[in-house]
Amino acid sequence: MEHDYIHEQHSVHLVIYHIIWCPKRRRKVLVGPVHDRLKQLIEDVVDENGWQIIQLAIQPDHVHLLLRSNPYTLPTDIARVIKGRSSHHLRQEYPHLLKMPSLWTRSTFYSTAGNVSSEIIQHYIEKQSTE
């Protein structure tokens, strides 16, 4: 998988983040219709912000997102927006999620794809999907 650099008026960039987050207490709630709705919500937020999903894997107890962004958006802001919007809608639409104190943990893993090739990350995500 090769990615082209983005050329703007005063900059050239290629910004790829690997972001992982989990439901509170690592509960396996991201299944069935919750899984499908979460996928839709993540895709909507990504499209609205001009980011690009390279790979998305939603497991019952965690989410892997390999995402292309821009140099102006912090990865913490990306996760905050996605986790906030998805928590709001999922808890509103699926009342059983209201039994949890919050949908997501406060912890989030962030990595850039600079030290490890994005192919290796993508392979890892695909492998996680089959386990």
Is residue 38 assigned to a domain? Answer: yes
| Chain segment 2-47, per-residue pLDDT in tens | 667 788 888 888 899 999 999 999 999 999 999 999 999 999 999 9
Is residue 60 assigned to a domain? Answer: yes
**Percentage, residues of the chain above pLDDT 70:** 89
Establish whether 94 is a catalytic residue.
no
Q: What is the pTM of this model?
A: 0.84
CATH number of the domain to which 72 belongs? 3.30.70.1290
- Nearest to 23, CA basis, from 89, 76, 81, 101: 101
Catalytic residue among 17, 72, 94, 124: 124
Is residue 1 assigned to a domain? Answer: no
The pLDDT of residue 120 is above 60: yes
How many independent structural domains does the chain possess? Answer: 1
Q: What amino acid is encoded at 90 in this protein?
A: L
Q: What amino acid is encoded at 124 in this protein?
A: Y
Q: Show the domain range for 70.
A: 6-130
- Nearest to 61, CA basis, from 89, 23, 90: 23
**Which pLDDT score is estimated for 8?**
85
- Nearest to 43, CA basis, from 71, 61, 26, 63: 63
Is residue 116 assigned to a domain? Answer: yes
**Which pLDDT score is estimated for 98?**
96
